[in-house]
Chains A and B, each alone.
Chain A
Amino acid sequence: MRRYLLPAALLALLIGAWQIAASTGAIADLFSLEPYLAPSPAEIAESLWENRSLLAENAWVTLREIVFGILCAVAVGIGFAVAMHRWRAVHDATYPLIVASQTIPIVVIAPILVVWFGYGLPPKIFIIALICFFPITIATLDGLRSVDPEAVKMMRALDASRWQRFWRVEAPTALPQLFTGTKIAVVIAPIGAIFAEWAGSSSGLGHLIQSDTANFEVARQFATVAVLSAIALALMGLTVLAERRVIRWR
């Protein structure tokens, strides 16, 4: 109970303070803004309700990008981690490149990918997967490395093939770290989605934020961010649920 009560209380406190500061005009006065540029939480909630179908439509687009992106990232991340663990040469050859891939500024590469792949789903999935596969790869690799060599020896003595050693000892050992990497990925994926949509899209929450910026629709921008946060939280919750279902021995 405490786990939910405490963050909820803190959130209520922050929103309450914001509501007072915005509705009294304190924020607008402080920055010398028109009042509609500093909306109160109540106004944001109103915008959220009024624009519910528009937000839902665009949220669906972004959610699809995020889910496909994360699924690709998990597949690629596991693939890299297993290959790097299995073959030393693969590890040595790819590790620096994998780290370097994370220094590529998404804002630079995203427009290029849009030129290459068009306005559709593929460049979004690619960009999300590009930033999400990294924590999954590194965490899973660490997980595979943490396998007890004595346990592997024991399996060899019990007639296990390499394949059986992998499925019965190494893979279960690495599972908790795979989930750790995925949890990080799930939280950063929405950021990737927004950048990807900014580079070129005709729908999605990022696209909506972009056009609202141009039109000074500040209340709806906040509402869109709230929807995006809700997506991240929901995906996080799903990942934790999956983790509890799969790793039942802890």
Chain B
Amino acid sequence: MRQDTSMEPESGQSQTALTSPAALPNIEGGVSLTALRHSFGELQTLAGIDLEVPAGSVVGLVGPSGCGKSTLLELICGLREQTGGMVAVAGHEGAAERLARCAFMPQRDLLLPWYSALDNAALALRNQGLGREPARVAAGDLFERFGLGGFEAARPSELSGGMRQRVAFLRTLVAGKPVLALDEPFAALDAITRAEMQEWLAAALRSDPRTVVLVTHDVEEALYLCDRVAVLSARPGRIVAELGVPARRAEDRDAAVTDPAFVAAREEALRALHGGSR
């Protein structure tokens, strides 16, 4: 049944609880890539990517380092222009329109040291024109829920790695966009914190489903958090395998990742990954 909530997000009953001020267009945007190509001058980074991310689903992109995963994410978000092919977010192809619909969470948390944790989380709302106090109230509502209660006034340097990452995720979520583009969100964390954060993100997405494109080099993370996983080859990146996933953000991560179906899926993904990079 849990799996169904992630597939049919409209039924998510606690959707409004997690989302901030205005009613947010949570899940109405799907992402569609057709024969997408990208080069840096002579260097070809992406060689024809075809990928569908249905609205409300979580799709993972795994691949060797340097295969263009992050570039692909920036293309989706409209932070970059493609060399060829098509990329559409909720049917919109223009870079500015894509940017308006995608919230991007970079690899490093990039919390601004001159703002408190709360003001960092509220950054998108401030940029969107909301006053300081209303923005704080809106972001503050989610602090407790994200395990950050009491740390509203803390400086980023006073937070642990996991907390910083949660503030960064909150900042992304509060932007109120239908598509979340997460670029190795937990790569900088230690293994234990990373597992905790995966469980935490799974819970967040269960209660507040979004369309998510998750880039990671951690196969297990992708298989645990995503509905589908696309495996990219080494540069120039192309999709060498697309896998369905057995776990889908199960509540008990430890049980999920040791399940025989999960282990088999991981084997398959690793085989595709290694085959693709040779």
A169 in contact with B127 (CB, 8 Å): no
Query: Could you say which of A122-130, A132-140, A150-158 contacts chain B?
Result: A150-158
Contact with A along B47-86 (1 / 0, CB 8 A): 0000000000000000000000000001001010000000
Q: Which residues of B contact A250 (CB under 8 A)?
A: 113
A18 CB → nearest B CB, Å: 47
User: By DSSP majority rule, is chain B's interface helix, strand, loop, or mixed?
Assistant: mixed
B110 within 8 A of A: yes
Q: Which residues of A contact B128 (CB under 8 A)?
A: 159
The distance in angstroms between the C-alpha atoms of A131 and B106, with both chains bound, is: 42
B155 in contact with A249 (CB, 8 Å): yes
B106 in contact with A153 (CB, 8 Å): yes
Contact of A159 among B113, B155, B175, B181 (CB under 8 A): B175
A163 CB → nearest B CB, Å: 10
A159 in contact with B106 (CB, 8 Å): no
Q: Which residues of A contact B102 (CB under 8 A)?
A: 157
A158 in contact with B171 (CB, 8 Å): yes
B99 within 8 A of A: yes
A24 CB → nearest B CB, Å: 58
B44 within 8 A of A: no
Beyond A151-B112, A249-B114, A249-B155, is A158–B123 a contact (Cβ under 8 Å)?
A: yes
A169 in contact with B175 (CB, 8 Å): no
Interface size, B (range): 20 to 34
B112 in contact with A168 (CB, 8 Å): yes
Q: Which residues of B contact A156 (CB under 8 A)?
A: 79, 99
Contact of A168 among B77, B123, B155 (CB under 8 A): B123
Contact with A along B186-213 (1 / 0, CB 8 A): 0000000000000000000000000000
B110 in contact with A164 (CB, 8 Å): no
B127 in contact with A172 (CB, 8 Å): no
A193 CB → nearest B CB, Å: 34
The distance in angstroms between the C-alpha atoms of A148 and B113, with both chains bound, is: 13
Q: Which residues of A contact B124 (CB under 8 A)?
A: 158-159
B116 CB → nearest A CB, Å: 10
Contact with A along B97-119 (1 / 0, CB 8 A): 00110111010101011100000
B235 CB → nearest A CB, Å: 21
B108 in contact with A172 (CB, 8 Å): no
B99 in contact with A249 (CB, 8 Å): no
Contact of B110 among A150, A168, A248 (CB under 8 A): A150
B100 in contact with A249 (CB, 8 Å): no
Instruction: List 17 other contacts, CB 8 Å, given A154-B110, A158-B124.
Output: A151-B110, A151-B112, A153-B74, A156-B79, A157-B79, A157-B99, A157-B102, A157-B103, A157-B104, A158-B171, A158-B175, A159-B100, A159-B124, A159-B128, A159-B175, A160-B127, A168-B126
- 9 pairs, CB–CB < 8 Å, chain A vs chain B: A150-B108, A155-B123, A157-B99, A157-B181, A159-B175, A168-B112, A172-B112, A249-B155, A250-B113
| A interface list, Cβ under 8 A from B | 148, 150-151, 153-161, 164, 168-169, 172, 248-250
